[in-house]
Structure formats: structure tokens, C-alpha cells
Amino acid sequence: MERSILDVKQTDRIGNTILRSLTQIAVVAQKSTKLKRSWAGHIYRMPEDLWTNITQWSPKSVRRRGRPRKRWREKLNAYDKAWVQLAQDRDAQRDQGEAFAQQWDTSG
């Protein structure tokens, strides 16, 4: 998309990081993972008796054959085991959110 905006062809040999810096378009994968982490922290800061606190919910549906998909909690645990304690402090969670989102960045 950025190439068509700037009218740059692949034969021009300009990298994606340079194109992103020129167009100032946010990386969708980073933005979505950052939002996902902030939502998980928001849910953990809520009182446990609210219906919106569904972090311990497990579906009763039948899964397809093969390895099950990873859930949000498993991805958060893989990055940082202490994310639940970190979620209690908004400022600390906000500081860690950018690093969490950049772990899947393949542009740089």
C-alpha cells in the first residue's frame, strides 16, 4: 500500500522501513498487539465479580484437529510471566506495551 501511495516500484529497491518513515503509517501488527495488551491489563484491573472479567474463561466448544491456537494469555505469559502484577500499575504497563508490540516486528 505504501508503495502505491508513493508511486515506488519494487525494482527501485527501497526498503519497507524507509517507506514507512516517509508515509508515517502505523504498523498494524504493532498497534493491534499493543491494544491487546492494554485490554488485558484493563480486564485484570477490574473487580473479579464483573461479567466482563473473562480471562479465566475456557470455551466448551469442540476444537478442530491439530494443535490448539494460542490464547491471549499464553502469548502474554510467553513474553513476561509477571504481566498480571504489572497490569495493576498502569504506568508500568504502558512502558512495557511498546516492547511487547515490537517483538513481532519484522521490518527492522
In a domain, 34, yes or no: yes
Q: What is the pLDDT of residue 99?
A: 67
* pLDDT over threshold 70, residue 103: no
> Is position 17 within any domain?
no
Which pLDDT belongs to residue 30? 79
The model scores a pTM over 0.75: no
C-alpha cell at position 52: 466482563
- Distance CA(13)–CA(65), nearest Å, equals 42
The verdict on residue 90 lying in a domain is: yes
pLDDT of residue 57: 56
Q: Is residue 5 part of a domain?
A: no
Residue at 8 is within a domain:
no
- pLDDT, tens digit, for every residue of 12-51? 999 888 988 888 887 787 788 788 888 888 877 877 777 6
- 52: domain range? 28-56+69-102
